[in-house]
Amino acid sequence: MHILIIGAAGMVGRKLTDRLVASGIGGKAVETLTLVDVVPPTAPAGFKGSAHTLTADLSQPGQSEKLVGARPDIIFHLAAIVSGEAEADFDKGYRINLDGTRFLFEAIRQEGLRSPYKPRLVFTSSIAVFGAPFADKIEDTFLSAPLTSYGTQKAIGELLLSDYSRKGFFDGIGIRLPTICIRPGKPNKAASGFFSNILREPLAGAEAVLPVDESVRHWHASPRAAVGFLLHAATLDLEKVGPRRNLSLPGLSATVGEQIEALRRVAGEKAVKLIRREPDAIIQKIVAGWPSDFNPARAVALGFRAESSFDDIIRVHIEDELGGKIG
């Protein structure tokens, strides 16, 4: 089996690669891995198959054709610039998040016109496709009406995915990821980054900045759960999904205050005292336009699973990133 991961140098892409190398997918071994990003991805250690690491920008004409020409069986499209950056740089957001996606989809269509080709395509969307006013819980039938450029770009990608799948050009599924928490590594430009920062840094003994009020509520899942979502989406019988190919995935709804209380239970008061309040009006405005709770009944019925407590999310980070120890 040949698997293409676009956005392979990112956190989720790296973790997905490691899981594929360790366990394969759907009971099958991975024979070929093609890892692509705008920065050089790292070749997987211990992989016995054929691995190709490439640097490419899908928003540049011709790049997608080169990748699709190798006819991968499964394509994970994870590449995007994050919410805060897409909002700050309108042109870059649409070039990367929309043009890059459309070029990929069209390259697959054109490849299939030459001779039959219909890969599974997993597209990472976002809960940012929804905009206020919100119900207490977002149901699977809730209107997609984003209030940010990032959310708009993802929503358009969802529509394209459904249409290209309907026409039989590929077998696509879009998964609306919750905010991934706790993200390892350094802070990025995502407006949602503070949800991870206020836990990750204190667990490592460092100070973190909280730019919003503790009453802010949001929808979360761990990096471990995110990888599980991707693998499940890649092997799911999409006849069971039907024509509505984009799913809101399971997660955990929690306020910032509840996050902090979970940190206190797991790591103690010393860690909590490392959180410094520093309000940021821009981040507050962006976050206020995001949904905070879901009823992802379709995804749950299809077998997608996430954590049920923030204590569990914190423990996943300690196990996977800190060697089981708090710094």
Alpha carbon distances (Å) from 127 to 271, 312, 327? 30, 22, 32
- Residues 120, 230 contacting (CB under 8 angstroms): no
Q: Is 150 a catalytic residue?
A: yes
Cα-Cα end-to-end distance for the chain: 40
Alpha carbon distances (Å) from 299 to 34, 145, 152? 28, 20, 22
Q: Which of 94, 117, 150, 164 is catalytic?
A: 150
**Dihedral of alpha carbons 303, 304, 310, 312, sign:** positive
Angstrom distance (rounded) from CA 19 to CA 151: 28
Number of helices (H) and strands (E) in the chain: give both, helices first: 13, 12
Angstrom distance (rounded) from CA 172 to CA 152: 19
- Best CA proximity match to 111, nearest among 79, 77, 75: 75
Alpha carbon distances (Å) from 302 to 58, 67, 127? 31, 30, 18
- Specify the amino acid at residue 86: A
Find the angle CA(298)-CA(30)-CA(174) to the nearest 5 degrees: 25
- Residues 80, 152 contacting (CB under 8 angstroms): no
How is residue 3 written in tokens?
């698997």
Angstrom distance (rounded) from CA 159 to CA 115: 25
Just list the catalytic residues.
150
